[in-house]
Amino acid sequence: MRLDNKIALVTGAAMGIGAGIAERFVEAGAAVAVFDINAERALQMAESLNRTGRALPIPGDVANEEDVQNAVARTVKEFGALDVLVNNAGFEVLGQVVDLTSAQWDRQLGVNLKGFFLCCKYAIPHLRGRAGAIVNISSVHAFVSYAGYAAYDASKAGIIGLTRALALDHGSEGIRVNAICPGYINTPLMDRWLADLPDPEATMEEVLKAHPLGRIGTPRDIAEAALFLASDAASFISGTYLVVDGAMTAAGH
């Protein structure tokens, strides 16, 4: 699976899953635009990637239309084209619907769903005629709900619906659109979640027991899946999702 001479724009690419995808894409021969809300981390990530490949740091918020327009325009100006879009940027707002504020709901959906819409809106015109690929990072939360995750679950389920619609609307233009649904992945987001719990070690033991493979995932696991879906190896795969969770959901968790 290679992406030689391909240009990719990866959102939320400065840490966690996004960083893993950016690193793997560069290894596979792609030039990568590192689009992240944290300007300092985006610069650091791009500098690291430039030691072995080509990368461009682009600070910005995926929920801001001007920032997205700028990110796509800068990517095309710097690298001359765009072949792959990976919508990864996201975060969690926890709480039941009755406890969430409208601002919290809007911010959750703004980043986790509207951000995907905006990036697709401005990237698709450049993907036409290039056998372009879009990889949307959803979650097992798209179909396995947990108490207190109303806004997050809604955003991740929405990504699956958006993925199917995009595949139908743009398949005739040669653009493939798929999603990945990660389970528990060892990222800073998970570290923060564990740190807020009364007994992180006990929780982690229970999490591991829920995985038939006996471990949680890594950003590299998701990056390999993203590379497959972005590459020619998946040239007849579109409009679907790939669950990457160590058989956790198959086990009923």
Cα separations (Å) of 208 from 185, 202, 216, 239, 245?
A: 11, 10, 7, 31, 11
Range 46-72 burial, b when 16+ CB lie within 10 A, else e: beebeeebbbbbbbbbbbbeebbebbb
* Known catalytic residue at 152: yes
DSSP 3-state assignment of 244? strand
Handedness of CA 238, 163, 245, 210 (dihedral sign): negative
Cα separations (Å) of 189 from 35, 99, 158, 181, 219?
A: 18, 22, 21, 16, 12
Q: Could you identify the residue written with the tokens 């798209």?
A: 142
Q: Which two tokens stand for residue 133?
A: 């690929």
Directed axis angle between helix 188-195 and helix 200-209, to 10°? 120
Choose the catalytic residue: 122, 152, 184, 241.
152
Q: Where are the alpha helices (DSSP H) in the chain?
A: 16-27, 39-49, 65-79, 102-109, 115-127, 150-170, 188-195, 200-209, 219-230
Q: Which residues are known to be catalytic?
A: 152
